[in-house]
Amino acid sequence: MAGRANVRELISARDLELGEYVKVAPVSLAHAREAAERQAIELALLRHRGRLGDATQELGISRVTLYRLLSAHGMRHIEVDAPTEHVTRG
């Protein structure tokens, strides 16, 4: 070992195939939380076809809180009704 140079090899993002992720702009924790909150609300409303009561139960929040969050995120709530069958009367 006396003839061997003391060389430290560093592992880079490229070695771990993480090069693409290094190029991504950093996101603040507050921004990440906001995005996750918005996505959770959107998905709950989609799953429950716009029914606020069901969405609030899934999210574990009150209807007042949901309205506050919709406003804070600049989201407009649109009621999504179940498809209705058209009855033709003759």
Are 77 and 46 in contact, with CB atoms under 8 Å apart?
no
Are 58 and 44 in contact, with CB atoms under 8 Å apart?
yes
When divided into structural domains, the chain yields a total of 1
Q: Note whether residue 30 is domain-resident.
A: no
**pLDDT tens-place string over residues 71-85:** 999 987 655 444 444
Q: Note whether residue 42 is domain-resident.
A: no
Q: Note whether residue 33 is domain-resident.
A: no
Q: Note whether residue 15 is domain-resident.
A: no
Q: Note whether residue 36 is domain-resident.
A: no
Tokens (6 digits) for 76? 């407009």
**pLDDT tens-place string over residues 11-59:** 877 778 777 766 667 789 999 999 999 999 999 999 999 999 999 999 9
For residue 62, pLDDT over 70 is answered with yes
Cα–Cα separations (whole angstroms), residue 34 to 24, 38, 50, 82: 18, 6, 20, 30
pTM here?
0.59
Quick one: average pLDDT of 60-68?
96
Q: Give the range of the structural domain holding residue 56, as residue numbers without chain letter.
A: 50-74
Q: Note whether residue 66 is domain-resident.
A: yes
pLDDT at 13: 74
HSE of 4, CA atoms in CB hemisphere, 13 A: 4
Q: Note whether residue 61 is domain-resident.
A: yes
d(CA 52, CA 78): 10
